[in-house]
Amino acid sequence: MNTQYVGEAEECDAVALISEGQLVALARPDDLRRSATGGDVLEIETASYLDSGTLDDLPIVRAVDQRSGRHLFATVDEAGTALPAIIAAIEEAGGEVTSSREYRPSFDDIFATLVERHRAEIHAAEDGTAGLASATVDPGTAA
């Protein structure tokens, strides 16, 4: 199937992303999402202020992006197994989780991130700064 509507690609078994005549990525839709975000992303809201450092010692957490005192995004390897451990760590620190969900950016955002990263890698290679280019989906910027 060939489509200009990126959202349709999410329903396929495998997706090839081509930009400017070059193959940017070839993978299953979920694998493309993890590649763009750095893993699975959990969106967590707490009843009161929570220091995101509470999650720093959990080996299952790759990164934490705290958007406000009560709202954070945690990047993990596997959302289903990480969420209970994260909730337990927050409760152990005296916090209360009021909501949690897996954040799944749109495929438009995923593709934009992968294309941007690919372009940055090309420019870095041309400039002799290969390995310095990086781009990830910014959780919370797209609804």
Domain range summary for the chain, segments of one domain joined by +: 1-137
Give CATH superfamily name and number for 1-137: Alpha-L RNA-binding motif (3.30.70.1560)
What would the pLDDT profile of 56-115 be if each residue is shown by its tens digit? 889 999 999 999 989 999 999 999 999 999 999 999 999 999 999 999 999 999 999 999
Task: Give the Cα separation of 70 and 89 in Å (integer).
Answer: 15
Residues 41 and 103 sit within 8 Å (Cβ to Cβ): yes
Query: What residues pair up with 92 in beta bridges, in sequence order?
Result: none
pLDDT for 48 equals 95
pLDDT band at 143 (very low <50, low <70, confident <90, very high): very low
In this model, does residue 137 exceed pLDDT 80?
no
In this model, does residue 142 exceed pLDDT 60?
no
Tokens of 53: 């450092």
Which of 6, 87, 38 has its CA nearest to residue 17?
6
